[in-house]
Amino acid sequence: MDRLIRIGSRDSNLALWQAKFIENLLNKQGIKTEITLVKSEGDINLTVPLYEMGVQGIFTKTLDSALLSNKIDIAVHSLKDVPTQLPKNLKIAAIPKRANVKDALVYQDPTFKVSEREGITIATSSLRRKAQWLNKYPNHTIESIRGNINTRLEKLGSTTHWNAALFASAGIDRIGLNVPNKLELDWMLPAPAQGALGIVCREDDPEVEAICKTLNHHETAVCTGIERSFLRNLKGGCSIPIAALAIADNNKIHFTGNILSLDGVRKVEVEMDFELENYENAGKLAALKLLANGGDKIAQELKSFMTE
């Protein structure tokens, strides 16, 4: 194929790593590529909390616009940042094999130990991480931190009253950051599709779609599809405190999802098992079960919060 595939990317270290990762996979197939950099509003404004910025697609809409205006051919995103409803004429062409799904606590002082005592301050910009942390450690204080991974690590090092900050392990692992001290949190449920990449293209470009499909990992696509369906049926955006994880094993899928109040006081969780061959409605069924078990009240409160 002689066509040059233009890959759109944000200019952060992580976004560039993701774009180059896909570029390398395409180059191995003999596909010619180039990377086009686009800066998003989420990268420019590092002071306003994400939930005050119309969070839906804050890191993806600039690349979406570039795709629709034919300035690029594909966009590579962290799939957890991609709204469950894409703009008209765009589609997810492929989801490569997923990386680490866990969240991690990063801290400067090697003697720091997590405990339930008061006086501990944790930094995060994620309402999901904040709610889950406060649910487990209600005596702690949570403060907002913005910026890419490198910027947040610098802020952690220079802000003396922060004990630690929360990150996605996949992001740290991908760009090979040397963090001072890192503790992966087995108890914290990740964002829907965390650890996965999404390759988005135009619907009217079947040639590019066919090329991208060669990079698709079926099991990852199924599991993240269930998680995103769960989120969509709860009518939640990517920054709402809704978490989900689907794991495929021996032709079965084990799903766990939850929703929390913003202060972390209330949590409703759902666990279900599905046959792998019957995965299409799994996310919807899990969402309906969670809503019926009391999650509807929290979901309504969150919806009101996001539309204020």
pLDDT tens across the length of the chain (308 residues):
678 999 999 888 999 999 999 999 999 999 999 999 987 554 433 444 433 433 345 557 889 889 999 999 999 999 998 989 898 999 999 999 999 999 999 999 999 999 999 999 999 989 999 999 999 999 999 999 988 898 999 999 999 999 999 999 999 999 988 888 999 999 999 999 999 999 999 999 999 999 999 999 999 999 999 999 999 999 866 568 999 999 999 999 999 999 999 999 999 999 999 999 889 999 999 999 999 999 999 999 988 776 65
Q: Is 191 within a domain?
A: no
Closest CA to 239 of 120, 24, 78: 78
Q: CA–CA separation, 210 vs 3, rounded Å? A: 13
Instruction: Provide the domain count of the chain.
Output: 3
Shared domain check, 246 and 112: no
211 with 221, same domain: the answer is: no
Nearest to 59 by CA among 105, 103, 12, 102: 12
Where residue 170 sits, what CATH number does that domain have?
A: 3.40.190.10
Q: Which residues are catalytic?
A: 81
Q: Do residues 20 and 156 share a domain?
A: no
* Same domain flag for 204 and 79: yes
| Pair 83, 112 in one domain | no
**Of 248, 235, 205, which Cα lies nearest the Cα of 302?**
235
Both structure tokens of 30: 């003999």
Instruction: Note whether 224 and 300 are same-domain residues.
Output: yes
We report the CATH number of the domain holding residue 243 as: 3.30.160.40
Q: Considering the domain boundaries, does residue 190 fall inside one?
A: no
**Spatial distance between the Cα atoms of 107 and 227, rounded to a whole number of angstroms:** 30
Query: Does one domain contain both 92 and 203?
Result: yes
Residue 258 lies in a domain: yes
Domain span at residue 243 reads 217-308
Q: Note whether 99 and 21 are within 8 A (CB).
A: no
- Amino acid symbol at 197: L
Residues 84 and 150 in one domain: no
State the Cα angle at 227 between 11 and 239, rounded to 5°: 50
Rounded to whole angstroms, how far apart are CA atoms 104 and 250?
28
18 and 80, same domain (yes or no): yes
Is the domain of 88 the same as that of 4?
A: yes
75 within domain boundaries: yes
Distance CA 138, CA 141 (A): 8
Q: What burial class does residue 75 get, using C-beta atoms within 10 Å of its C-beta: 0-12 exposed, 13-18 middle, 19+ buried?
A: buried
Q: Report strand pairing: 164-168 vs 267-275.
A: unpaired
Spatial separation of the C-alpha atoms in residues 142 and 128, rounded to whole Å = 12
> Do 166 and 111 belong to one domain?
yes
Do 92 and 201 share a domain, yes or no? yes
Note whether residue 13 is domain-resident: yes
Q: Which residues lie across from 216 on neighbouring strands? A: none
* Max Cα distance, the chain (Å): 62
Q: Whole-structure pTM over 0.85, yes or no?
A: yes
Contacts of 44 (CB under 8 A, 6+ apart): none
